[in-house]
A = this chain, B = another copy of it.
Amino acid sequence: MTAPVRARSLGYRAVKADILDRIHQGDWGPGTQLPAEAEIAAGMGISRATVNRALQELAVEGIVERRRRAGTVVRRAPIRAARFSIPILRDEIAATGASYRYVLLDRSERAAPRWLRARLSLPDAAPVLRLSCLHAAGPTPYAAEERWISLGALPEARGVDFAATAPTEWLIATVPYSEVEVSLFARAADPASAAALGVPAGSALLATERTTWWEGRALTHVRLTFHPGYRLTTRY
């Protein structure tokens, strides 16, 4: 008297929802081996390709694990991979309804410090452009940006008016697709960031660092330090 899989005939989304329902309701508990694609397809009166797409998405989402010959198995420990979007600040601030404000606080050209040379694989005394900026939601500081641009890789940055254009936006327009490493961590506000954000020095703040390469060559490194109370949130 087990209920057959309902063929709602709404396509692969329905198939996926059906299977997910069974898993959620314990019908197919962790470790359970699912019927083969062909079997599910036959049972629902649909094509195998449709079942495949549904199962493949469930695999990507970490709900099931699939191996040739071994079949499809419900994962015992769901993969805890959360997807946090790291949007362009302008968009993120605009999405809150506040007006986006950008201020260039400082600009200087200098030789790359050692840690940066190590990070970007730059030669000794490589010239870099250092920018210090503030992104704000109306009157409220939102994030402080410390940006380093390799002038060896991007000499045209010398001629750019970063008081008018935020570095991120210039970079997106100049080198839109590139390889990126992002990391996320907590830091105590240093005096400069604290002043920019209007918080006491030493405050615990969320920060991200992003290094960008293009064709294997390091272009830029940036640290964003967010206002207190900033959170990244996601559901799944």
Which residues on A are within 8 Å of B, measured CB to CB? 23-24, 29-30, 63, 76-88, 91, 172-173, 176-188, 202-207, 215, 229-236
Contact = CB atoms under 8 A, between A and B. Distances in A.
Contacts of A230: 185-186
The 6 A-B pairs at the shortest CB distance, nearest first, are namely A186-B186, A204-B204, A183-B233, A186-B206, A188-B204, A81-B85
B186 A29 contact: no
Contacts of A188: 203-204
Contacts of A185: 206, 229-232
A231 B183 contact: yes
A176 B180 CA distance: 34
Given A84-B81, A85-B81, A182-B233, A187 B204 contact: yes
Contacts of A24: 177-178, 215
Contacts of A76: 172, 176
Contact of A81 (B86, B205, B231): B86
Contacts of A186: 186-187, 204-207, 230
- In this complex, the member of A81, A86, A88, A184 whose beta carbon has the largest number of chain B beta carbons within 10 angstroms is A184
Given A204-B186, A231-B184, A85 B78 contact: no
Contacts of A177: 23-24, 63, 78
A105 to B, nearest CB: 22
Contacts of A85: 79-82
A176 B29 contact: yes
Contacts of A83: 81-84
